[in-house]
Amino acid sequence: EHATYNPKIKVVIAVDPELTTVFTTASLSNISIQVTIINLGQPNTILPGLNASGLEGLIRDISYETVPDATQFSAFSECTSKGAFILQSEGDNEAICIDGGERSRAEIHRQLAEMIENTLVQSFSNN
């Protein structure tokens, strides 16, 4: 076993993991637990540093999913109107408060929670 292996960890779930391209193929092929990756956005809208689609085929038991109408900020907490106003008035990018589709951030959060729950239920029912 690897020095970093922990038998207590049965599943990994990552939402928009950053810089996945820095991992070596050898290290990824050594992952023996279930991994679920959720990217926020469509393949052409996911920032290169967040796009984890390249992990498919490198990890044995991987599930790669996307939330097409989400943005890189959709997993953040919901913005209030005051928060968006403060960002704008201070010259910051209020895009942090804007999601990509017609659904609210709360609806995207519900979908993410469901995706995560489904992964956990599946993982623990297999053990």
Cα 50 from Cα 126, distance rounded (Å)? 29
Task: Reply yes or no on whether the pLDDT at 49 is more than 80.
Answer: yes
CA 24 – CA 42 distance, rounded (Å): 25
Look-up of token digits 């207590």: 8
Whether 55 is in a domain gets the answer yes
Residue 127 is predicted with a pLDDT of 64
Is residue 63 within 8 A of residue 119, CB to CB? The reply is yes
What is the mean predicted confidence (pLDDT) over 118-122? 95
Whether 80 and 106 have beta carbons less than 8 Å apart is answered as: no
Q: What is the mean pLDDT of residues 20-45?
A: 94
Band (pLDDT 50/70/90 cuts) for residue 34 is very high
Q: How far is CA 12 from CA 82, 94, 107, 116, 122, in A?
A: 35, 31, 23, 10, 12
Residue 2 belongs to a domain: no
Question: Residue 3: pLDDT above 70?
Answer: no
Give the total number of structural domains in the chain. Answer: 1
pLDDT at 94 over 70: yes
Which residues form the domain of 78? 11-125
